[in-house]
Structure formats: structure tokens, C-alpha cells
Structure 1
């Protein structure tokens, strides 16, 4: 794949990941749609788009000796649903930038923690990076006028842990697109069950539903397809490093589209968290080298 195309696809994927936060916050802040309905629409739209893509590949897969069927499993689907639901409810009150930072940090902490549990040692500068990132998170959540709501923050941290588990469970998938499609399809009945439980809170809104469908079909479904297409062209450490830009893109988008303020607390926390994670990733890069 030419470098220019790789760079373009990488940029589109990162914009899509940031777009998930922006669309969710835009819907839940600017329209009357409830979080459960947003989750249902997002998961269903992503499942449909990914299913269509996988089915469109069926003839080619059969020609190459593969059945082209959906992959995935129920455990991964549960982690995916937990991520999507917690993500939506967290953004009822969280700003887009703070939410993206909490999500990204929680995902990386989950995957790093699992690596430690599995016997992957960290070097001294990686421990420093981990401590710096955790300090940044603690600073963000300390009581104060600019502190994001604690309940929403905990929900976003839970969403990040769920996504980290989902990523760990599916990192060896032979066909990531088919696996993701199967997991989204399995997550649909879980989202519908959530909607049934939250029936009393249901509030549908045309614009909010449109944002949810865009989040599912474009920034989730197509976003993952683009990312999985470009990842083989990137080194593992490079792929992890470029994702550091997602919270930054989200924060800028929140300022431009949602009139969110870039507070000193958020800026300092973001610098500490992203800088700390960069140190951890740099250590992994040296180990592979």
C-alpha cells in the first residue's frame, strides 16, 4: 500500500474514532434522545453495515476456500455491549475531550495491566510513564470546579476497561472485520434488552437518532473496517502511538463543535496521561527491536 494512501486511511480512522465521542456527546447534549436508544441505534447500525460488508465478501471468501461467515463470540459481544452502553451513559454529562481521555487511558491501563499479569515486564522508564499517566488521571478527577462528574467519569472508565477486554480477547482474530461484525450482531439483542429495561426513560429524537446512526454506520462500522485495513501496514508500536492523537482530536472537535472549554486541568491531565502512555509504548517498541 502506498505511503500516501496509508497516511490517508490512518487519518480517516483516527477521525472516525474521535467522531464517536463527538457524535455521542452532540446527540445527548443537543437533542432529547436517551442514552439507551442511542446505544441501540449505534450498535444496530454498526452491525448492519458490517454484516453487509462481510456478506458482500462472501463470494470471494468461498472462492478462496473460506465460508465468509460471521466470526466473534458471545463473551466478546458482551464486552462490546458493556463498552457501548457505558460510553453512552457517561456522555450524558461528560465533555467530549475529558471522556475521550478517560476512555483511552482506561483502555491502555487495562491492556498494560494484563501484560503485567501475563508476565510482560516493564522497564524503569515504562514504570515512570505508567505512574505519570495515573497521576494525570488522578489530577483530572480530584475535586474542584473543573472536575468532570464522578459518576460519569467512572462509567467512562468502565467503558474503557470493557473495550480493553474486548481488544485483548480479539487481538488474534484471523479476520478482524468478520469478528467485529459477528460481535456487533450478537450485541444487538443485549442493546434491545437494555432498551426494554430503560423503557420509562425512552425519548426519541430525529436529530439524535441521526447522530446515533452516523456513529454506528460510519464512525464505528466503516471506521473499524478502515482501521483494520491500514493496521497491517503499520508497526504495532506505530499503530499504538498514532492513537494518542484521538483524545486531542476529540478535545479540539469539542471546542469547535460543542463550545466546550479547554480547561487548565484537562490540558495538564492530557499532557501527563498521553505523555506517560507514550513512554510505555516507546518501551515496547525497544523491546520488539
Structure 2
């Protein structure tokens, strides 16, 4: 329970750290992405050395690394205009919709209750994105949905990995050439300061690297349905922490959309586990 709670807090911390860095420091999204991925790679590599895990076989893949990089870059650029809570909700919704959608396209049969859950989640997502005073910025929302789709694809590719920590480390290392290209392509817009660098390192090493390690340590002790459902807490944790730490408003639209999206996904998960 403690490992799971810490892992969920770390996942929520990614949104909070990124939003705080882009809102209150001079760092730009490309620099944040670069430092986050580099520090995550270093942390995971040191963790593997500390645990004396085998490194003879090449872990990870370029396909997964590309999806990881796409997720991290789109995530950072999206948070220029999104609140931490809205970004986390869009990210989580897109991840689950992607993974469920791939399952359907692969031939999985859905029960009636699952179809109701998917419809409810999609209605909540549409309601959140509809034009209005409290609607999220279209460009930021599109980027976060892209980040969620990339993370969903990354998660699907990583299912059944023999050593998740080793594979994740290999994928982080493989993102570094892509990071270099991103930095070279945005040289005219790069900006950093001490506070921004510190938040990016915390996001990469602690919220990402340590967060994934904690999650993989907790997973063997959780039922599949529990592991899927507990992640519903991440947007809620982010919303509450965003209100307390970043003074972000919790709007009625966000609350209603959260209930629809998270409730719909919970219905799909539990109905699928029962079947």
C-alpha cells in the first residue's frame, strides 16, 4: 500500500513539477524535456548498478524510445497552457482510451457495460474540450492527448517485459539522441535557470525514474484490477495538489468531466476483469 501510494504521488508529481517549472521559472519546454529524460536515464542506470542487475542483453527498443520521447516532449509543451489538473485528466483519459481502443481493434469483444463505460468516458472528454470560458487551450489539449496516446502505446509495447526497470532504463537511454535533435532544433528558444533545472531533475529522477521503480515493486503485490483502478487516483491527486500548491482553480467543468471520464474507465476496467 505504501509503495503504491508513493508511486501514484510520483506520477501526479510529474504534472505538478512540469507545470510549476513552466509557470514560475525561466525554463522552456524543450530544456525541461531534455533534462527530465537525461536525469531519468542517469537515475535508472545508477539504480540498476546498485541492484547489480544484469546488463548483458540490450534492454529496450528504439520503437519504445520514440514513443517515450514523443510523450515527454508533447507533455512538456502542453503544460505551457494547461493547468496541472486538466493536463493530468487529459493525459490519463487518452492513455486509457488508446489502450482500450487497441484492444478493440485487436479483436477483443466488449460487454454492454463496457460500451456504456467507454461512451461515458468519451462524453466526459468531449465535454471537457467543448468551447467555453473554462475550456482548456486547444493546442495544449491536443498536445496532451498526443502525449497520452504515445504513453498508451509505450505501455502496450512494454507489457510482459522480463525486467521492467532494465527495459525502462534502456528506453530512456535511447531517447538521448532524440533529445539532442530537439535541443538543436530549438536553440533560439532555449532558456534555463537554477530553479527550472532543479524541477526538471526532480521530474526525471524522482517522479519518473524512482516513480517507475516504486510502481514496478508494487505491481507483483496487486491484483490486475486493483493495479488498473488505483491509477484513477492520479488526476484527483493532481487536482487537489494543484489547487493547494499552485493555486489552480477546480472548475465545475473539470469536476463533471473527471467524474465522467474516470467513472467510465472504471466501469470498463471492472467489467472487463469480471468477464
Distance 1:176 1:267, change over 3 A: same
Deviation at 1:57, TM superposition (A): 2.9
Residue 214 of structure 2 corresponds to which residue in structure 1? Answer: 226
- TM-score computed with the length of structure 2 as normaliser: 0.98
2:10 paired with 1:9: no
The residue aligned with 1:25 is 19
Written as runs of structure 1 = structure 2, the 5 A alignment for 1:148-159 is 148-159=136-147
What corresponds to 1:85 in structure 2? 73
**Superposition deviation, residue 194 in structure 1:** 0.4
Relative distance call for 1:252 and 1:57 in structure 2 (3 A) is same
Alignment of 1:33-48 (within 5 A): 33-48=27-42
> Once the 2 structures are TM-superposed, how far is the Cα of residue 68 of structure 1 from its aligned partner?
5.3
Is 1:146 the equivalent of 2:119? Answer: no
Who is 2:173 aligned against?
Answer: 185
Q: Is the 8 A contact 1:54 1:70 kept in 2?
A: no
Q: CA deviation at 1:70?
A: 5.0
CA-to-aligned-CA distance 1:228-285 (integer Å, 9 cap, x gap) = 0110110111101000000000000110011100000000000000000000001122
5+ unaligned residues in a row in structure 1: which ranges? 1-6
- 2:251 maps to 263
Equivalences for residues 62-141 of structure 1 within 5 A: 67=55, 69=57, 71-141=59-129
Secondary structure of the structure 2 residue equivalent to 1:194: helix
Q: CA RMSD in A?
A: 0.9
User: 1: distance between equivalents of 2:177 and 2:121?
Assistant: 36
Note the alpha carbon deviations across 1:188-245, whole angstroms, 9 max, x for none: 1211210110111101111011000000000100000000011011011110100000
Q: Is the 1:70–1:178 Cα contact (8 Å) retained in structure 2?
A: no
**Counterparts of 1:284 and 1:185, CA distance in 2:** 35
Runs of 4+ in 1 over 4 A off after TM superposition: 66-70
User: Aligned pairs, how many?
Assistant: 275
Offset, 1:69: 4.9
Alpha-carbon spacing, 1:122–1:146, altered in 2? closer, same or farther (3 Å)? same
Q: Distance in 2 between matches of 1:279 and 1:234?
A: 19
Q: What SS is found at the alignment partner of 1:157?
A: helix
Q: What is the DSSP-based 3-state SS (H/G/I as helix, E as strand, rest coil) of the residue aligned with 2:175?
A: helix
Q: Secondary structure at the match of 1:172?
A: coil
Unaligned runs of 5+ in 2: none
Is the CA contact (8 Å cut-off) linking 1:55 and 1:68 kept in structure 2?
no
Partner of 2:93, secondary structure, is helix
TM-score by length of 1: 0.94
Q: Deviations over 1:23-51 (max 9, x none)?
A: 00000011110000000000000000001
